[in-house]
A = this chain, B = another copy of it.
Amino acid sequence: MNDTPPRTMSAGECWQALREHEFGRLAYRLLGDVHITPINYAVDGDALLFRTAQGNKLLSAVMHEPVALEIDELGSEDAWSVVVRGRAEVLGETDAQRAEQVPLRPWVAGDKDSVVRIVAVEVTGRRFRLSKPWEHIVPTS
C-alpha cells in the first residue's frame, strides 16, 4: 500500500492545468438524474467556455444549474485531477464573440451556436502517488 496521501494542488497549479488542457467532462443534473459528458472547453479569465447547439439537451440542463467540470491525467507513477464547480450561463451575442478570441474549437460535427460560460465558484485539484499494484496483492484466506 502506498502511504503517500493525495497532495492538494494550489489554485495556480489548477488554473495552469486548465489552461494547458481543452478536454474535460461536465457533470450536471437533468430531471433528478446526474449526467456526465465529455466536452471541450477554453479558459477565459476565471471562467470556462464551451460551445453547444441551440435547443440542445445539455444547454437546457445546465442553465443556471450547478455544474462540475473535471480534467485529469493518469501516469504510471502518479495522477492528478482538477475539478471546477460553478453555475452555467449562456452568453449573449456580444459576449459570445469572445469565444472567437480563445482557443475554443468544436471537435465534432454539428452546429454549435451557443456559448456557455461557467464562472468558477470553487477550483480544487489533487495529485496522487499511485500504489504499485504488486505491492498490495492481498492473500485470500
Determine whether A59 belongs to the interface, using a CB cutoff of 8 Å to chain B: no
Pair B36/A36 contact, Cβ less than 8 Å: yes
* A37 with B105, Cβ < 8 A, contacts A25-B72, A27-B27 known: no
12 A-B contacts (beta carbon < 8 Å): A1-B106, A25-B27, A25-B70, A27-B27, A32-B66, A34-B68, A35-B68, A36-B68, A100-B138, A105-B133, A107-B131, A108-B129
Count of this chain's copies in the oligomeric assembly: 2
Known: A2-B109, A37-B83, A100-B140. 8 other contacts (CB 8 A): A1-B106, A1-B109, A25-B70, A27-B35, A27-B36, A34-B34, A107-B128, A108-B131
Determine whether A47 belongs to the interface, using a CB cutoff of 8 Å to chain B: no
A25–B23 alpha-carbon span in the complex (Å):
14
Interchain CB contact (< 8 A) of A37 among B28, B33, B34, B81:
B81
A2, A34, A128, A133, most chain B CB atoms within 10 A? A34
A127–B105 alpha-carbon span in the complex (Å):
18
Closest to A107 in B: B130
Closest to A39 in B: B81
Pair B110/A5 contact, Cβ less than 8 Å: yes
CB-CB contacts of A16-43 with B at 8 A, as 1s and 0s? 0000000101011100111111100000
Interchain CB contact (< 8 A) of A38 among B2, B29, B70, B110:
B70
